[in-house]
């Protein structure tokens, strides 16, 4: 039955008020979709509306499906967590669990509850830094945060430890409970993925909902996420016949679609590749491969489901085993009767102990025992044994059982604390001897290949035969055989023997055995369906070390909206409390990355992976201390002709030598014109000097792949970053992290060994990364065991060394030759805390674009710990027109007005023998709004300034700017930029090129650049005697933009860069110098989708 409550939340933490009136504005699309058209009789009360919902089966079914799916996903997640907990406990018994952070420090919190606190955002940060000379970043406002609390006392997994968040007004804004240590995030890739899917689910059906076998559709399938998403929405079983070479299907790009089956059928010796969950599986010719999404929408292969099923069955058997030792035992008459007659005492004992044994015998006995169901008794074991003459009765939950003389009963509680009885362990009756004869011998190549490639068929053979001999030899051989765990195979035997020169591999359970020439091996299936090579062989053989971050670490993820400056945390356990105050939370910083692929006199490479893959963008966000990562997508551009700022025109090749770091087109076109141009257009700076851009008020970077034809041939550029741009050969791996690091003003080998090499937690510069979306840790050491020391510079024989941790070499920061832990889980480098803190400093000293600010910008004020409106400094290379000065004569209002009519920036410079006693500024009005007057007084005598109806004194050695706001002249000690974007974050057309204010060199407008995200500004009221760009829109309207009238560099043209909103559909751009049109360019826009992502999420 569907249950639905409709409320208006007036105060999210206190009051829920039901609404009594429906909104009369109907959503036609939603009404049609949900079948609401019959509800448009305007029911006026909640009762009427509720009754209509009940009567509408479409809505009921829709809500029921959504609720059931949500509940099922939660249940599956809990199941997976439960099995991983069992797997960890199993490893712990083997002594294979180790804790990375074993520091023991005084309590970080104040109160009678003691413990240490850590945060994790992009990386783990100690709440209180207790290591001398250690440098750590602080929290970022508005970012999801994992809180880890290590209490100084042992708290049982099934007990409750609470956390509350208070704001600066001491108001509770959030509260929840922490998850027990078994649910602390694990290292990426170490958590076994469990599913309810079994190998039997992977049989190929006889019919399909949809089949793709046309080459055009197969290509669309591999190139368009939307196409495959649509197919998955409409169909449950899809078959794809692949007949094109080297195709790749990426299931990671799909929305979560539960209970879908994808059959890939390869024909005609074709190879293909399927990507999912950070894995990549090559598929060989003549093979049908099945992928299934389970109830949670996660994709699995048959082999993964086989391993999951095996582990689940093996862990359940281990879970239900009788413990070898017990936390507490009751064997004497007094003790047994105490827990029998005092149920509360018994319940308290159950709560505090995981394994309990009660052994009765004559004269040491009690009649009744009560074991209630309760969440607080989850995952406990109680063993009852009886050698007493009299029976004992045990009530467990709502059930009762009698234990008679000689009986043993094991009571086990599940994750919810519900008790069940399991029989004690029984002795195996399986015979492990080699059979005297076999029901079937498989030794022909055709049959060997069939049981190797078709597991369903192999299982049929096993099911129909008790004893099987598989014999290989040259020309009659197969590489792989898989024995699946199945209870129907009890007591089956398979004997492998080999006379082949090639090895064969047998997969069973979580193991692999290689059968070489002359080898033989018997496999026997036990009473539970597990294949073993000898009696007692372990069912779980993964003996790799499990490294966890910290022992006894309770944790919970606090939603982003509650991470604000001046919060405090309060921990609570059984009435004990501990408070963490003085938590420094920094700015909600942002990074804007533009991406573009450039080909100069040659097609672009098409290999800018970061641009194409939102997952890579998400991964990079996880590695840096910011609140928001915005990634814009520019369409790739093939420039078939090149004009350099010197006026040189290229059509076939450059006369320069090119290389990774060399080439005139690399420097002057891909970096200076396009990358700097994109950035400056977003600031509303219409023109600038070539070869220079230090205008970086925000964290805005344009990254590009570029290549060009030079006199030494085709050259690809890369390995360069800084000043708001990055030229990348590879946009994945350390090159990306490194070159962006330069943009954060971080140099090579930053802070030397202590800053560039990761460390263990007992030393400065230690952390792990945290992926907040997937909830796993990324350690700061290598994945493989090499037992190598880490040095900053291997060429230095006396270099300081970092010892390996358990044979894992420590990693290095991106700026110091960085390495990755595992590219499959994050393709970018984990920064050391020292570098992360410097990166955070860069971001907090950068402004952000802001739609809500009257200036268009905001910047962090560390004193108030708030974002404040901000006026960025003016771009450099602004040309000021000098006001003519006659010594000891005043500068008049008439003189200044005439200059301001033709110029945006004028300068009055006073020095000895060049001194005006008085300066009269004209009245501020709309004609001089946003215009600037610079007054620079180095003369011995002060100047009287007449401004806004008042007199002011400009003293010796004073420089001041006066900026008109249209009503008054406002003084400023620095030249600020008051051009405010009229729109932010909209699709844009960026126009770039070169122009010569002297009209001696040939100006040129480059083909338009199309971007998904940018800032646009009002067009100008122009002076046609000065250079300007005119842009014609499809509707015939013309927008004009003034350009600077002076050459910034004497022998070179200036560059221009202007954003036009894409929605306006510009069709032509024209350059005018001295009233003459000097260049024009038709604008041809494409229809290709250009997505923008925020934190790796594609924006609609």
- HEC-encoded secondary structure of 164-190: EEECCCCCEEEEEECECHHHCCEECCC
**pLDDT over threshold 70, residue 27:** no
**Coil, helix or strand at residue 459:** helix
Query: In this structure, are strands 162-166 and 568-573 parallel, antiparallel, or unpaired?
Result: antiparallel
Other C-beta atoms closer than 10 Å to the C-beta of 556 total 17
Nearest to 446 by CA among 466, 475, 422, 423: 475
**pLDDT over threshold 60, residue 511:** yes
Of the listed ranges 82-86, 346-350, 654-658, 948-952, the least confidently predicted one is 82-86
Mean pLDDT over 421-430 rounds to 68
- Contact 1041/1028 with Cβ under 8 angstroms? yes
Ordered domains of the chain (ranges, CATH): 7-55 (no CATH), 97-184+553-586 (2.60.40), 199-293 (2.60.120.1230), 323-422 (2.60.120.1230), 440-531 (2.60.120.1230), 881-972 (2.60.120.1230), 984-1097 (no CATH)
> Which contacts (CB < 8 Å, 24+ apart) does range 535-543 have?
535/428, 535/430, 535/432, 539/310, 539/314, 539/317, 539/318, 539/509, 540/87, 540/90, 540/311, 540/314, 540/315, 540/318, 540/509, 540/510, 541/509, 541/510, 541/511, 542/91, 542/510, 543/94, 543/96
Mean pLDDT over 253-273 rounds to 77
Tokens at 815, concatenated:
């700026």
Residue linked to tokens 């400094």: 873
Helix 57-93 and helix 46-55, axial crossing angle in degrees, nearest 10? 80
- Contact 1040/1022 with Cβ under 8 angstroms? yes
Higher confidence at residue 50 or residue 170? Answer: 170
d(CA 360, CA 364): 6
Q: What is the pLDDT of residues 801-824, one digit of tens each?
A: 999 999 999 999 999 999 999 998
- Per-residue model confidence (pLDDT) at position 428: 62
Tokens at 631, concatenated:
């990634």
- Per-residue model confidence (pLDDT) at position 25: 37
Tokens at 858, concatenated:
């905001």
**Coil, helix or strand at residue 133:** coil
- Contact 1034/1060 with Cβ under 8 angstroms? no
Helix, strand, coil share (%) of the chain residues, nearest 5? 20, 35, 45
Catalytic-labelled residue, pool 484, 667, 735, 739: 739
Q: Which of the listed ranges 242-256, 301-315, 800-814, 1016-1030 does the model predict with the highest average pLDDT?
A: 800-814
d(CA 576, CA 138): 28
Give, for 464, the enclosing helix (H) or strand (E).
helix 455-464
pLDDT grade for 422, boundaries at 50, 70 and 90: confident
Tokens at 440, concatenated:
């079937």
DSSP per-residue string spanning 811-841: PB-GGGT---S-TTT-SSPPPPHHHHHHHHH
- Contact 880/865 with Cβ under 8 angstroms? no
- Contact 905/896 with Cβ under 8 angstroms? no
Of the listed ranges 283-287, 622-626, 1093-1097, the least confidently predicted one is 283-287
d(CA 118, CA 768): 11
**pLDDT over threshold 70, residue 508:** yes
- Per-residue model confidence (pLDDT) at position 143: 98
- Per-residue model confidence (pLDDT) at position 39: 40
- Per-residue model confidence (pLDDT) at position 42: 47
Give the Å distances, CA to CA, from 566 to 584, 675, 846, 1011: 7, 39, 22, 39
Other C-beta atoms closer than 10 Å to the C-beta of 961 total 20
The alpha-helical segments, DSSP class H, found in 868-980 are 893-902
pLDDT grade for 38, boundaries at 50, 70 and 90: very low
| Residues 6 or more apart whose Cβ sits within 8 Å of residue 33 | none
* Beta-ladder partners of 280: 275
d(CA 2, CA 955): 79
**pLDDT over threshold 50, residue 31:** no
**Sign of CA pseudo-dihedral 35, 37, 41, 43:** positive
- Contact 152/107 with Cβ under 8 angstroms? yes
Mean pLDDT over 584-591 rounds to 98
d(CA 771, CA 785): 23
Q: What is the pLDDT of residues 920-934, one digit of tens each?
A: 999 999 889 888 999
Residue linked to tokens 């299931």: 251
- Looking at every residue in the chain, the average pLDDT score rounds to 89
Residue linked to tokens 């005139």: 664
- Three-point CA angle 414, 416, 417, nearest 5°: 65
Percent of the chain at pLDDT > 90 equals 70
Mean pLDDT over 970-979 rounds to 79
The helices-and-strands tally (H runs, E runs) of the chain is: 18, 77
Nearest to 944 by CA among 931, 930, 958, 932: 958
Buried b (16+ CB within 10 A) or exposed e, 626-659: bbbbbbbbbbbbebeebbbbebeebeebbebebe
Mean pLDDT over 670-690 rounds to 95
Residue linked to tokens 């990079």: 620
- 191 assigned to active site: no
Q: Would the pTM count as exceeding 0.85?
A: no
- Per-residue model confidence (pLDDT) at position 63: 52
Q: Starting at the edge strand that comes first in sequence, how are the strands of the sheet with 399-403 ordered? A: 368-371, 392-396, 399-403
| Annotated binding-site positions | 738, 742, 748
Tokens at 334, concatenated:
């007094």
Residue linked to tokens 């862990």: 315
d(CA 109, CA 148): 13
Buried b (16+ CB within 10 A) or exposed e, 288-315: ebbbbbbbbbbbbbbebbbbbbbbbbbb
Torsion angle of the four alpha carbons 78, 83, 84, 87, in this order, in degrees rounded to the nearest 10: 160
Helix 333-341 and helix 343-352, axial crossing angle in degrees, nearest 10? 100
- Per-residue model confidence (pLDDT) at position 9: 40
Q: List phi, psi (to 5°) of 861.
A: -105, 105
For residue 229, the number of C-alpha atoms closer than 13 Å in the C-beta half-sphere is 9
**pLDDT over threshold 60, residue 44:** no
Mean pLDDT over 549-572 rounds to 98
d(CA 1096, CA 614): 5
d(CA 888, CA 915): 5
d(CA 26, CA 49): 14
- Per-residue model confidence (pLDDT) at position 246: 61
d(CA 837, CA 125): 11
d(CA 73, CA 322): 32
d(CA 167, CA 220): 51
pLDDT grade for 831, boundaries at 50, 70 and 90: very high
Mean pLDDT over 791-801 rounds to 89
Q: How far is CA 805 from the centre of its chain?
A: 27
d(CA 512, CA 481): 10
- Contact 1004/982 with Cβ under 8 angstroms? no
Mean pLDDT over 513-542 rounds to 93
Give the CA radius of gyration of the chain: 36
* Beta-ladder partners of 971: 962
**pLDDT over threshold 50, residue 691:** yes
Give, for 124, the enclosing helix (H) or strand (E).
strand 124-126
- Per-residue model confidence (pLDDT) at position 24: 35
Query: In this structure, are strands 115-120 and 110-111 parallel, antiparallel, or unpaired?
Result: unpaired
Nearest to 508 by CA among 370, 649, 252, 310: 310
Higher confidence at residue 840 or residue 15? Answer: 840
pLDDT grade for 320, boundaries at 50, 70 and 90: confident
Tokens at 297, concatenated:
């929408």
| Annotated binding-site positions for Zn(2+) | 738, 742, 748
The alpha-helical segments, DSSP class H, found in 876-983 are 893-902
* Beta-ladder partners of 97: 546
- Contact 477/504 with Cβ under 8 angstroms? yes
Q: List phi, psi (to 5°) of 892.
A: -90, 165
Of the listed ranges 416-420, 604-608, 725-729, 1030-1034, the least confidently predicted one is 416-420
Q: How far apart are the first and last CA of the chain?
A: 34
pLDDT grade for 6, boundaries at 50, 70 and 90: very low
Nearest to 634 by CA among 589, 684, 701, 691: 701
């Amino acid at each position: 039955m569907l249950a639905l409550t409709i409320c208006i939340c007036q105060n999210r933490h206190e009051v829920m008020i039901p609404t009594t009136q429906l909104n009369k504005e109907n959503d036609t699309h939603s009404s049609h979709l949900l079948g609401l058209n019959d509800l448009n009789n305007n029911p006026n009360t909640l009762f009427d509306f509720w009754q209509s919902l009940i009567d509408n089966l479409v809505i009921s079914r829709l809500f029921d499906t959504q609720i059931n799916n949500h509940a099922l996903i939660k249940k599956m997640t809990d199941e997976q967590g439960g099995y991983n907990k069992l797997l960890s406990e199993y490893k712990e018994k083997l002594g294979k669990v180790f804790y990375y952070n074993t520091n023991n420090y005084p309590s970080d919190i104040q109160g009678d509850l003691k413990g240490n606190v850590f945060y994790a955002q992009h990386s783990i940060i100690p709440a209180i830094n207790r290591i001398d000379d250690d440098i750590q970043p602080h929290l970022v406002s508005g970012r999801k945060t994992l809180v880890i609390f290590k209490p100084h006392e042992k708290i049982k997994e099934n007990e409750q430890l609470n956390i509350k968040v208070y704001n600066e007004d001491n108001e509770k804004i959030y509260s929840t409970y922490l998850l027990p240590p078994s649910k602390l995030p694990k290292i990426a890739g170490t958590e076994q993925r469990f599913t309810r899917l079994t190998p039997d689910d992977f049989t190929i059906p006889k019919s399909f909902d949809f089949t793709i076998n046309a080459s055009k559709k197969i290509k669309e399938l591999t190139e368009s996420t939307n196409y495959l998403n649509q197919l998955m929405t409409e169909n449950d079983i899809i078959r794809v016949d692949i007949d094109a070479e080297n195709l790749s299907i990426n299931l990671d790009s799909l929305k979560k679609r539960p209970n879908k089956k994808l059959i890939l059928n390869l024909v005609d010796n074709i190879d293909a590749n399927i990507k999912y969950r950070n894995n990549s599986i090559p598929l060989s010719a003549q093979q049908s491969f099945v992928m299934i999404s389970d109830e949670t929408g996660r994709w699995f292969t048959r082999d993964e489901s086989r391993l999951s099923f095996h582990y689940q069955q093996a862990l359940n058997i281990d879970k239900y085993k009788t413990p070898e030792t017990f936390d507490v035992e009751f064997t004497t008459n007094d003790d047994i009767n105490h827990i029998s007659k005092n149920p509360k005492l018994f319940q308290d004992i159950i709560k505090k102990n995981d394994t309990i044994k009660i052994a009765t015998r004559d004269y040491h006995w009690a009649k009744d025992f009560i074991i209630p169901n309760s969440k607080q008794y989850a995952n406990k074991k109680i063993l009852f044994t009886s050698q007493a003459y009299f029976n004992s009765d045990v009530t467990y939950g709502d059930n009762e059982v009698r234990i008679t003389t000689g009986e043993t009963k094991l009571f086990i509680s599940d994750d919810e604390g519900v008790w069940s009885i399991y029989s004690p362990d029984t002795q195996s009756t399986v015979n492990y001897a080699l059979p005297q004869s076999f029901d079937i011998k498989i030794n022909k190549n055709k049959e060997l290949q069939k049981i190797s490639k078709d597991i369903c068929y192999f299982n049929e053979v096993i099911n129909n035969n008790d004893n099987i001999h598989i014999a290989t030899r040259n020309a009659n051989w197969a590489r792989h055989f898989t024995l699946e765990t199945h209870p129907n195979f009890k007591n089956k035997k398979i004997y492998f023997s080999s006379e082949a020169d090639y090895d064969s591999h047998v997969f069973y359970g979580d193991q692999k055995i290689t059968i070489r020439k002359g080898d033989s091996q018997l496999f026997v299936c036990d009473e539970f369906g597990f294949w073993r090579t000898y009696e007692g062989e372990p069912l779980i053989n993964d003996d790799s070390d499990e490294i966890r971050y910290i022992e006894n670490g309770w944790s919970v993820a606090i939603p982003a909206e509650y991470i604000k400056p001046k919060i405090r945390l309060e921990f609570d356990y059984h009435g004990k409390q501990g408070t963490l105050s003085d938590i420094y939370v920094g700015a909600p910083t942002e990074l804007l990355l533009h991406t573009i692929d450039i080909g100069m006199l040659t097609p672009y490479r098409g290999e800018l992976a970061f641009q194409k893959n939102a997952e890579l963008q998400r991964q990079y966000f996880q590695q840096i201390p910011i609140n928001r990562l915005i990634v814009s997508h520019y369409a790739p551009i093939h420039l078939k002709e090149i004009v350099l700022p010197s006026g040189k025109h290229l059509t076939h090749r450059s006369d320069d030598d090119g290389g990774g770091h060399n080439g005139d087109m690399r420097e002057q076109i891909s970096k200076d014109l396009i990358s700097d141009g994109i950035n400056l257009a977003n600031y509303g700076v219409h023109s600038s000097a070539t070869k220079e851009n230090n205008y970086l008020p925000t964290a805005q970077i344009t990254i590009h792949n570029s290549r060009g034809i030079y006199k030494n041939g085709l050259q690809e550029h890369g390995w360069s970053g800084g000043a708001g741009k990055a030229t990348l050969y590879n946009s994945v791996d350390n090159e990306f992290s490194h070159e962006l690091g330069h943009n954060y003003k971080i140099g090579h080998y930053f802070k030397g060994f202590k800053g560039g090499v990761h460390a263990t937690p007992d030393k400065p510069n230690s952390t792990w990364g945290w992926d907040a979306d997937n909830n796993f840790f990324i350690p700061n050491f290598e994945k493989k065991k090499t037992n190598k020391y880490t040095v900053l510079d291997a060429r230095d024989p006396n270099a300081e060394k970092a010892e390996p941790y358990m044979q894992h070499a420590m990693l290095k920061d991106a700026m110091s030759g960085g390495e990755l832990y595992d590219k499959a889980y994050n393709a970018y480098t984990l920064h050391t805390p020292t570098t992360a803190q410097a990166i955070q400093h860069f971001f907090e000293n950068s402004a952000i674009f802001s739609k809500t600010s009257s200036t268009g910008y905001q910047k962090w004020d560390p004193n108030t710990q708030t974002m404040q409106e901000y006026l960025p400094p003016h771009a450099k290379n602004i040309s000021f027109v000098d006001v003519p000065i006659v010594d000891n004569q005043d500068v008049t209002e008439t003189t200044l007005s005439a200059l301001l009519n033709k110029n945006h920036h004028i300068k009055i410079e006073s020095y000895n023998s060049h001194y005006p006693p008085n300066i009269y500024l004209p009245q501020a009005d709309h004609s001089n709004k946003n215009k600037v007057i610079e007054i620079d007084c180095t003369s011995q005598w002060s100047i009287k300034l007449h401004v806004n109806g008042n007199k002011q004194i400009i003293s010796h050695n004073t420089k001041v700017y006066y900026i008109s706001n249209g009503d008054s002249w406002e003084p400023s000690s620095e030249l600020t930029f008051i051009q405010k974007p009229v729109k932010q974050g909209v699709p844009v057309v960026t126009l770039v090129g070169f122009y010569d204010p002297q009209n001696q060199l040939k100006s040129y407008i480059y083909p338009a650049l199309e971007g998904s995200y940018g800032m646009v500004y009002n067009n100008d009221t122009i002076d046609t005697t000065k250079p300007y760009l005119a842009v014609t829109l499809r509707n015939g309207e013309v927008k004009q933009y003034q350009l600077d009238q002076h050459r910034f560099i004497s022998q070179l043209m200036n560059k221009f860069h202007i954003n036009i909103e894409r929605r306006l559909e510009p069709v032509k751009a024209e350059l005018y110098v001295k009233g003459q049109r000097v260049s024009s360019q038709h604008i041809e826009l494409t229809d290709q989708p250009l997505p923008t992502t925020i934190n790796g999420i594609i924006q609609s």
